[in-house]
Structure 1
Amino acid sequence: MIRGRRPDSPYLALLPLERGAFIGGLLLIVVLSGIVSFGSESGSHPLLFGAFLVYVGVLALPLFGAFLRTPGLFHPLFFYATWTGLRSLLTGDAVLGATGLEFHRALAGMSRTELELVAAQSFLLEALALVALYVGYGLFRNIRVPSLRQPSQPRRLAKAAVLWMVLPTAAVAILAMEAGSLGNLMLQRGIASDQRIAAEIGGHWHYLAGVGTVAPVVWLAFDQDAAKRPVFWLVALFAAFLVFVATGSRGSAIWPLILIALTWGLRHRAIPYRALWVAAGIAIVLIGLLGEFRAATRGADTLADVEFQAEFWSSAEAGYEEMVRRSTTNNGQIAVLGSVPERVDHLFGESYLSIPFVVIPSRLWPGDTPDAAGKLNATYIYGNPLTGIPTGVVGEAYWNFSYAGILLAFLLFGGVLRFAGSVYRANADHPLIIPIYIYLIVFLAPGSNQIYNFVHALVPVLGFYLFVRVVERVRLGEASVPRPAGMEGGQ
């Protein structure tokens, strides 16, 4: 943990050492990428590396106070730039900028030079989107928001969290019964999506299986010392286990732990850097391990038939290599930019039509609901309608309305971040605003898939918050029941 005195800021203002670490990290990435780009035969095209430098430069603007009076780790604008940018750099964008792109799964007919020019376009459009975001944030000023009344501290948070876990546990039990056993349910990820249980009984059961992951986040928002209790971690780990068993999604099992760490930092006005580094290492290993497990389930009839070797370093390497592939040879945004409008027409808002259906289970809607960007990308560009491949928010905006779509989407999103920051600043200790703010700055972006993720998280956050209040009211009601006459004062 980096220690030092922070200026008074609900956003956790940057310490000089933190600012230096961010700037130094970006410079190190640029220098190492440049050495690879210009110092090896497999280096990237100069135009690609130049576009990469432009993107990193625009990404670093908030670090120098541009558009911000006091940069803070949890400032909505700063967080979006650093969280999105640094994460993408560390998980593949730096590799793309340094080594270029020899081939792409969806663009098999393109030469290396053509692919690298498309990748350069991708970096430049990312930079354009960030500039539009900064400008949009600056345009929306003097937003007045209400200050909410602080609720009383509940005394039955642990009980409420344990009771809440009944809902995802029941959902997993129903899925397991449909699959024949819990082991068979864990094999679902290894078969085609149209043959999975979700295609038969509805994906809402998978959604319910994941609602337990919000309980530790809201619990920590109520009680900043909740992480000291063993039952807190039992609930957190059990919730992550349930969502992985139900969906097979590695991200769904890892994200709850990241969100807990971020909520802890916001509540304590400090960042547990050592714990975060350990968690990052564990996350990479888990991505590799769970990926190997998922690959081993393909073609297996029972869980006993699954064979895979769990080795620490090989799992970490496999996890990192898969993240790099998502930024390079399987980059959905590059697939869009290389295909639109030459091979595939603009969508003109088609992917955004799915957003109003975000809270409506597909089973309750007569006919098919509109597809989000990831599904459209897999169907029209990759030719695989049985999966979903993210387009990235910039790729989706471009696919819909070309360059104007990027400018408009990120200008408006800048206003959304300004409003969210104002609401949080006015209610920095409110146990409902804290988790909503955390989920917003982590998940929300101007894309259909990102809005899906945020709304799908927001609903159980509100649900568990209200559930905590109900459990507390029941307790208070029990405590306020009058005693029979003659039973008071020892009479």
Structure 2
Amino acid sequence: MIRGTRPDSPYLALLPLERGAFIGGLLLIVVLSGIVSFGTESGSHPLLYGAFLVYVGVLALPLFGAFLRTPGLFHPLFFYATWTGLRSLLTGDAVLGATGLEFHRALAGMSRTELELVAAQSFLLEALALAALYVGYGVFRNIRVPRLRQPAQPRRLAKAAVLWMALPTVAVAILSMEAGSLGNLMLQRGIASDQRIAAEIGGQWHYLAGVGTIVPVVWLAFDRNAVKHPVFWMVALFGAFLVFAATGSRSDVIWPFILIALGWALRHRTIPYRTLWVLAGIAIVLVGLLGEFRAATRGAATLADVEFQAEIWSSAQAGYETMVRNSTTNNGQIAVLRSVPDRVDYLLGESYLSIPFVVIPSRLWPGDTPDAAGKLNATYIYGNPLTGIPTGPVGEAYWNFSYAGVVMAFLVFGGVLRFAGSLYRTNSEHPLIIPVYLYTIMALAPGSNEIYNFVHAFVPVIGFYLFVRLVDRVRLGRTSAPRTAGMEGSQ
């Protein structure tokens, strides 16, 4: 844990040592990438590396106090730049900037030089998007937000959490019955998407199977010491198991634990760096391990037929290689930039039309609902309509309205971050605002897939918050007497 006297700030004010670590990390990435780019035969094109430098430079602006008057680790602008930027750099963008791109899954027949020029365009568009985000945040400065009344501290949080877990448990039970068994359900990722259970009975059961992952995040917002309760961790692990059993999604397993660590940091006004490093290592291992499991399920008739080796080092290596591929040879944004408008026309808002349908189960809507960007990318550019390939918010904005779309999308998103930051700053101890703010800065971005993910988390957060209040007020069918806001206890 980095020591130092941290100034009082709801955003967790940035310590000089932390600022230096961030700047030093970016410089190290730039230097090492430059050595590979110019010092090896497999180095990237100079224009690609130059565009990479521009992107890193714009990414680093919130680290400087002259740019951001009150920098903090959870400041919406600072967090978006560092979380999105550093994560992308460490999981593939730095490799792309250093070694270039020899081939791309969706762009067969293109030379290395052509691919690297498209990759350079991608980095420059990312820099333009960040610049528009900063401007948008500054423009929407006069935003007024309400101060919400602090609710009473609930006494039956654990009871509410256990009762809430009945929702995802029932959903997984229904899916298992449709599949024939829980084992058969876990083999679903190994078959084509049009043959999966979701295509027959609707994706709403998969969604309900994941609503348990928000429980520990909201619980921690109510009770800063929730991590000391064994039931808290039992619920967190059970929720992660249910969502993976139903969907096979690796990110849905990992994200709740990252959010738990960040929620703990917000509640305690400190950063558990050692825990975060451990979580990062576990996340990489899980990405590889669960990916190997999914690959092993292809063609398996039963769970007993699945064979894979659970080795920590090989799993970590496989997980990192998967993340690098998604930033390089399987980069959906690069595929969009090269294909639009030469091979594929502009969408002119088509992918954004899917957003209003985010809360409507497809089974309840007559006819097909509009597809989000990832599905459109897989269908029209990759030629595989049975999956989804993320375009990223920048790639989606470009695909819809060219360069103007990128600028406008991120200008507006800058205003959204300003509003979210102001709402949190005014209500930094409110148990509803804390998880909503965390999901906003972690998951929300101006893209249809990202908005889907945010809304799908936002709805159960609201639902579980209200459920906690209800369980705490009702006992054996009778409404209990109201308690004072200062009452202690979380069980």
Q: TM-score range by the shorter chain?
A: over 0.9
Matched, 1:192 2:192: yes
Shift in Å, 1:156: 0.2
Aligned-partner SS, 1:345:
coil
Deviation at 1:142, TM superposition (A): 1.9
Matched, 1:65 2:37: no
Q: CA deviation at 1:479?
A: 8.1
SS in 1 for 2:11: coil
Amino acid at match of 1:221: A
How much does 1:406 deviate? 0.4
Match of 1:263 in 2: 263
Cα distance in 1 for partners of 2:203, 2:87 equals: 29
One-letter amino acid of the counterpart of residue 237, structure 1: L
Asked if 1:293 is matched to 2:293, the reply is: yes
Displaced runs of 4+ in structure 1, greater than 6 A? none
Contact persistence 1:67–1:138 (CA under 8 A): no
Give the aligned partner of residue 51 of structure 1.
51
Between the aligned partners of 1:331 and 1:475, the Cα distance in structure 2 is: 53
**Superposed displacement of residue 3, structure 1:** 2.1
Q: Distance in 2 between matches of 1:88 and 1:2?
A: 24
Residue 66 and residue 478 in structure 1: after superposition, are their counterparts in 2 closer, same or farther (change >3 A)? same
Q: Could you tell me which residue of structure 2 aligns to residue 14 of structure 1?
A: 14
CA–CA separation in structure 1 for the residues paired with 2:109 and 2:366: 40
Q: Distance in 2 between the 1:304 and 1:416 partners?
A: 49
Aligned: 1:378 with 2:374: no
Q: What is the CA distance between 1:67 and its match in structure 2?
A: 3.6
Contact 2:19 2:63 in 1 (8 A): yes
2:449 counterpart residue number: 449
Q: 2:119, 2:345 → 1: CA distance? A: 20
Which residue of structure 2 aligns with residue 388 of structure 1?
388
Specify the code of the residue in structure 1 equivalent to 2:220.
Answer: L
For residues 306 and 28 of structure 2, the distance between their equivalents in structure 1, rounded to whole angstroms, comes to 42
Cα drift, residue 39 of structure 1? 0.4
User: In the alignment, residue 229 of structure 1 is paired with which amino acid?
Assistant: H
Name the SS for the 2:474 alignment partner. Answer: helix
Paired letter, 2:112: R
Q: Does 1:234 align with 2:234?
A: yes
Give 2:487's aligned residue: none
Write the mapping of 1:54-453 to structure 2, written as runs, cut at 5 A: 54-453=54-453
Separation of aligned partners in 2, 1:394 and 1:144: 29
Shift of 1:66: 4.7
Q: Tell me the CA shift for residue 68 of structure 1.
A: 1.4
Distance 1:470 1:66 in 2: 47
Deviations 1:269-323 (A, max 9, x none): 1110000100110110011111111000000000000011111111100000000
Q: Using the TM superposition, give the Cα deviation of residue 29 of structure 1 relative to its aligned residue in structure 2, in angstroms.
A: 0.3
In 2 relative to 1, CA 476–65 (structure 1 residues): closer, same or farther, beyond 3 Å? Answer: farther
Q: Which amino acid aligns with 1:180?
A: G
Aligned equivalents of 1:468, 1:153: Cα separation in 2:
10
State the Cα distance separating 1:453 from its structure 2 match: 0.4
8 A Cα contact 1:67 1:134, kept in partner: no
Q: 1:475 to 1:67 in 2, by over 3 A?
A: farther
> What are the Cα deviations for residues 379-435 of structure 1, in whole angstroms up to 9, with x where unaligned?
000000000000010000000000000000000000010011111010000000000
Residues 49 and 97, structure 2, Cα contact 8 Å, conserved in 1: yes
Supply the distance in 2 between the matched residues of 1:342 and 1:387 (Cα, whole angstroms): 23
Deviation (angstroms), 1:475: 3.4
CA distance in 2, matches of 1:402, 1:337: 9
Q: CA deviation at 1:477?
A: 7.3
Q: Secondary structure at the match of 2:472?
A: helix
Deviations 1:69-101 (A, max 9, x none): 011010000000000000000000000000000
Given that residues 136 and 415 in structure 1 are in contact (C-alpha distance below 8 angstroms), is that contact kept between their aligned partners in structure 2? yes
Number of the residue aligned with 1:4? 4
Percent identical: 87
- Per-residue CA deviation, residues 99-121 of structure 1 (Å, 9 max, x unaligned), is 00000000012100000000000
The AA in structure 1 aligned to 2:83 is: W
Q: Is the 8 A contact 1:168 1:210 kept in 2?
A: yes
Deviation at 1:2, TM superposition (A): 1.4
Residue identity matched to 1:63: L
> Gapped runs of 5+ residues in structure 1?
482-491
Residue type of the alignment partner of 1:84? T
* 39 and 158 in structure 1: CA distance in 2 versus 1, 3 angstrom threshold: same
CA distance, structure 2, for counterparts of residue 239 and residue 58 of structure 1: 38
Cα drift, residue 262 of structure 1:
0.9
Task: Output one character per residue of 1:182-241: Cα deviation in whole Å (capped at 9) or x when no partner.
Answer: 000000000000000000000000000000011100000000000011110000000000
Give the aligned residue type for 1:83: W
Residue aligning to 2:489: none
For residue 488 of structure 1, what is the aligned residue in structure 2? none
Q: Match of 1:486?
A: none
Amino acid at match of 2:17: L
TM-score by length of 2: 0.97
Shift of 1:4: 1.5
Q: Secondary structure at the match of 2:101?
A: coil
Alpha-carbon distance in 1 for matches of 2:8, 2:312? 42
CA distance in 2, matches of 1:422, 1:353: 29
Q: CA separation in 2, counterparts of 1:446 and 1:226?
A: 33
Question: Which residue in 1 is equivalent to 2:474?
Answer: 474
> How many residue pairs get matched?
481
Superposed CA RMSD in Å reads: 1.0
Letter in 2 for 1:193: S
SS in structure 2 opposite 1:258?
helix
* TM-score normalised to structure 1 length: 0.97
Give the C-alpha shift of residue 478 in structure 1: 5.0
Tell me the CA shift for residue 467 of structure 1: 0.3
C-alpha spacing 1:312/1:480, structure 2 compared with 1 (3 Å): closer
Per-residue deviation, 1:480: 5.0
Three-state SS of the structure 2 residue aligned to 1:87 is helix
- After superposition, the C-alpha distances for 1:246-268 in whole angstroms (9 at most, x for unaligned) are 00011111111111111111111
